[in-house]
């Protein structure tokens, strides 16, 4: 069994508390650890920035995957619009907390503590392919917070991110959209003619199509639509799962997964 790597980082100031805890997929070829980081405001402890996400063992492919995951974590974290994106986890946390602290000094402009929490998970770790999910919840005032989930899929041999064209046969789009709509109608109890943007469907438009936010799991492919993407906030995140059997006519053979029968 491949040994997991672990790196322990210690900070002695500013209540920065990163920990890398060991973790491992039961059947995956890539060893990984879980990196945790937390920073609180010195002015108001209820204002904080937290994250935990997988970090893969150092290798050519692992370094590429880790860089992509880090970028995804930072890009999902709220940051001041007037400033460039942060280059590190620590910088992203500091910018978030600083912005809140500055606004809280003016009670008329801002009176809420801010929170940002990001959590990463390895959904699939098999020879040839790894799928990572990055979930972020952030509250910066107003009626409610916002949740965003991003899926990342990588070739484990090269670290290259994989997209729909890497997994599906040419001309897949129309059939994939048909399968997604059919599954959504089943989920909502809709007939073949009920409008998708009606009371039961709840979508903005009378259609649902594939997007680029998809995950390969051990049983199929999942498409996720974040809040406000195709439906109102109250609908939450919408996920549509399709099995490998359903997709066998348009899906390319995938490494070390359930065989795709012709």
Look up the domain containing 229 and give its range.
164-247
> Is 3 domain-assigned?
no
> Is 58 domain-assigned?
yes
Cα(194)–Cα(189) distance, rounded to whole angstroms? 9
Which residue, of 137, 155, 173, is where some domain finishes? 155
Which residue, of 90, 120, 155, is where some domain finishes? 155
> Is 40 domain-assigned?
yes
Q: Are residues 39 and 147 in the same domain?
A: yes
Q: Are residues 137 and 178 in the same domain?
A: no
Q: Are residues 220 and 111 in the same domain?
A: no
Q: Are residues 112 and 57 in the same domain?
A: yes
Q: Are residues 105 and 228 in the same domain?
A: no
DSSP state, residue 222: E
CATH of the domain at 129: 3.30.565.40
Residue spans of beta strands (DSSP E) within the chain: 19-23, 32-40, 48-56, 115-126, 129-139, 146-155, 214-216, 220-225, 238-243
Q: What are residue 133's phi and psi, to 5 degrees?
A: -110, 135
Q: What is the pLDDT along the chain (262 residues), one digit of tens a residue?
A: 333 333 333 232 223 333 343 344 434 469 999 999 999 999 999 999 999 999 999 999 999 999 999 999 998 776 655 566 788 999 999 999 998 998 888 766 667 899 999 999 999 999 899 999 999 999 998 888 999 999 999 999 999 999 999 999 999 999 999 999 999 999 999 999 999 999 999 999 999 999 999 999 999 999 999 999 999 999 999 999 999 999 999 999 887 665 555 5
User: What are 68's two structure tokens?
Assistant: 């992509």
Q: Are residues 35 and 110 in the same domain?
A: yes
Domain count, the chain: 2
User: What are 26's two structure tokens?
Assistant: 């039961």
Count other C-beta atoms under 10 Å from residue 1's C-beta: 5
Q: Are residues 75 and 147 in the same domain?
A: yes
CATH of the domain at 187: 3.90.640.20
């Amino acid at each position: 069994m491949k040994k997991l790597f672990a790196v322990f980082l210690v900070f002695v100031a500013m209540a920065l508390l990163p920990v890398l805890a060991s973790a491992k997929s039961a059947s995956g070829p890539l060893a990984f650890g879980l990196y945790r980081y937390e920073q609180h405001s010195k002015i108001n402890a209820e204002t904080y920035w937290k994250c935990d996400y997988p970090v893969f063992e150092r290798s050519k492919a692992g370094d590429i995957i880790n860089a992509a995951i880090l970028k995804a974590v930072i890009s999902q974290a709220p940051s001041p619009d007037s400033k460039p994106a942060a280059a590190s986890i620590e910088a992203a946390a500091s910018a978030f907390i600083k912005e809140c602290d500055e606004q809280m000094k003016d009670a008329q402009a801002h009176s809420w503590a801010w929170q940002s929490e990001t959590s990463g998970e390895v959904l699939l770790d098999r020879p040839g392919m790894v799928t990572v999910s990055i979930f972020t919840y952030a509250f910066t005032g107003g009626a409610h917070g916002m949740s965003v989930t991003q899926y990342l899929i990588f070739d484990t041999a090269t670290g290259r991110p994989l997209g729909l064209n890497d997994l599906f046969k040419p001309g897949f789009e129309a059939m994939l959209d048909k399968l997604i709509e059919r599954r959504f109608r089943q989920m909502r109890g809709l007939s073949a003619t009920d409008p998708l943007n009606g009371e039961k469907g709840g979508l903005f438009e009378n259609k649902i199509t594939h997007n680029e936010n998809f995950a390969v799991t051990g049983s199929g492919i999942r498409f996720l639509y974040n809040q406000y993407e195709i439906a109102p906030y109250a609908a939450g995140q919408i996920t549509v799962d399709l099995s490998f059997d359903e997709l066998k006519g348009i899906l390319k053979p995938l490494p070390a997964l359930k065989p795709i029968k012709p």
